[in-house]
Amino acid sequence: MIPPYRNQGYSFDITNSTAYDQYFIYGRPIYESISRVVDDIFNEYVRRQGQLAPYFTSFCNGTTVSCQGMSQWGTVTLADRGYTPLQILRSYYPNDIEIVQTDIITNVLSSYPGTPLKQGSSGLDVQTIQTWLNRIRRNYPAIPSITDPAGTFGSSTKAAVTKFQSVFNLTPDGIVGKSTWYKISRLYAAVTRLAELDSEGTTLGIGTVPPNSVLRQGSRGPDVITLQYLLDVISEYYPGIPAPAQDGIFGSGTRQAVIAFQQIMGLQPDGIVGNLTWKALYDAYLGINQNIPPQKPEGGADTYVVRAGDSLWLIAQRYNTTVDAIKRLNGLTSDLINVGQVLKIPASQEASYIEYTVRPGDTLWLLSRRYNTTVDAIKKASGLTSDLLSIGQILKIPAR
């Protein structure tokens, strides 16, 4: 047993019980077969659909130790019946969990940005702090609301930081240094219950504000990872852009991908990622996310992950259905919905289509591949007589 952490002021202990922790002693022998499996799957994790944060799962032997989650003997029975790993997980946890893989694997990087954030700062780190504080204030209403634009550290962000510091006995200077950063981070994890079965999850991801760094061949670090991730996603929809390795190192492969992206977007193809290239990357990435049609599960219904600002009425209008139909399909007894909640949406009986705004580099062929339809179907729905597209043009794309 590791000495109790409660004696140090924390609300938890670290134990060797399989109900809570997996026991490991550095330097002791491990099974080669286990080592191989870990090497194969260590970058895979469980999450709920529409979320990025890992979903908390626990495991116990089910006899001497029990826990709210999987059981050693229960899983053996399901495996003997031919269940897949995902089917076994869904037998214990929500049906919308999934096993995903991240290719963003680097040396350990500190989440603290390295320099204090203060009034006048801007960028993704500021947006992260704003997102965390706005969620924390739901549990601590004394913290004022942040009204500054996302990623801009203005007066309301400083006021929220100062009040947070005052509430949690930190120096109330309105500056997010290392101690304030990690205290906000810990509180955010606590109030969203990220380590619980009923976790709210998080969909912050890369945010909507580009980094303010300038990257070129030879650069390293988390901003390079963000760049490589964006290029990897965008490359799925723009065949002329090669997908770089996501290793946090700006090498020749990443430079080639940047140049290809810049050429398609009409930017100077110098292979350097400055403000204009960052903005174009985020515009392309967010545009892809906003225009990808929702997945349709069995039964002909859409699924929708609730976002901030959503209401049942707004969702019903968006999907050409009614609030009552959504509530009936999901077994809801009230109009209350939560961010991250997955809803089933009744399939519309009318022919549906997606409105898409043409971006630089778009062609009818690319759009037909992206939306699993045909060039002729897009032309027919949009009333086109040729394959020529104009930037800003609104297309109607058949939804399948």
- Which of 33-47, 113-127, 165-179, 299-313 shows the highest mean pLDDT? 165-179
Q: Which helix (H) or strand (E) holds 80?
A: helix 72-80
The CA-to-CA distance between both ends of the chain, in Å, stands at 55
CATH code for the domain defined by 127-191: 1.10.101
> Which regions of the chain does DSSP assign to beta strands (E)?
44-48, 59-60, 70-71, 97-101, 302-305, 342-345, 353-357, 394-398
Statement: residue 4 has pLDDT above 80 = no
The predicted structure's pLDDT at residue 392 = 77
Average pLDDT of span 298-320: 66
The tokens describing 191, both together, are 């109030």
**In degrees rounded to 5, what are phi and psi of residue 381?**
-65, -30
| Mean pLDDT, range 224-244, rounded to an integer | 83
Q: Where are the chain's structural domains?
A: 6-101, 127-191, 222-290, 302-345, 353-398
CATH for 222-290 is: 1.10.101.10
Average pLDDT over residues 299-324: 69
The top-scoring range by mean pLDDT among 13-17, 81-85, 293-297 is 81-85
Q: DSSP code of 112?
A: S
- Across the range 9-36, mean pLDDT stands at 62
3-class SS of residue 204: coil
Which CATH class for the 353-398 domain? alpha beta
**CB distance 326 to 312 below 8 Å:** yes
pLDDT score, position 30: 64
Count of C-beta atoms within a 10 Å radius of residue 49: 17
Residue 2: its pLDDT value, please?
A: 46
**C-beta of residue 228 within 8 angstroms of C-beta of residue 215:** no
Answer whether residue 120 shows pLDDT above 70. yes
Q: What is the mean pLDDT of residues 178-182?
A: 87
Per-residue pLDDT tens over the stretch 316-325: 766 777 777 8
Average pLDDT of the chain is 75
| Integer-rounded Cα radius of gyration of the chain | 24
Question: pLDDT, tens digit, for every residue of 337-366?
Answer: 876 778 888 765 444 677 777 877 677 877
Roughly what angle, to the nearest 10 degrees, separates helices 222-235 and 252-264? 50
Q: What is the CATH T-level fold of the domain 302-345, as seen in this structure?
A: Membrane-bound Lytic Murein Transglycosylase D; Chain A (3.10.350)
Q: What is the mean pLDDT of residues 283-310?
A: 61
**What is the three-class DSSP state of 276?**
helix
**Per-residue model confidence (pLDDT) at position 298:** 40
Which amino acid is residue 380, in one-letter code? K
Q: What is the pLDDT of residue 252?
A: 93
Average pLDDT of the segment spanning 391-396: 82
Asked whether residue 154 carries a pLDDT value surpassing 90, the answer given is yes
Q: Which residues contact 245 (CB under 8 A, 6 or more apart)?
A: 228, 251, 253, 254
Same fold, 127-191 and 222-290: yes
The per-residue pLDDT for 357 is 79
Share of the chain above pLDDT 70, in %: 68
pLDDT value of position 208:
67
Name which residue leads in pLDDT, 361 or 238: 238
Q: What is the pLDDT of residue 224?
A: 83
Which of 258-262, 328-332, 352-356 is predicted least confidently? 352-356
Residue with the larger pLDDT of the pair 348 and 286: 286
- pTM of this prediction? 0.42
**In the prediction, which pLDDT does 7 show?**
62
* SS3 call for 304: strand
Angle between helices 124-136 and 178-191 (to 10 degrees): 50
According to the model, what pLDDT value does residue 23 have? 57
Residue in the structure block whose two tokens are 């549906």: 352
State the CB neighbour count (10 A cutoff) for residue 362.
Answer: 21
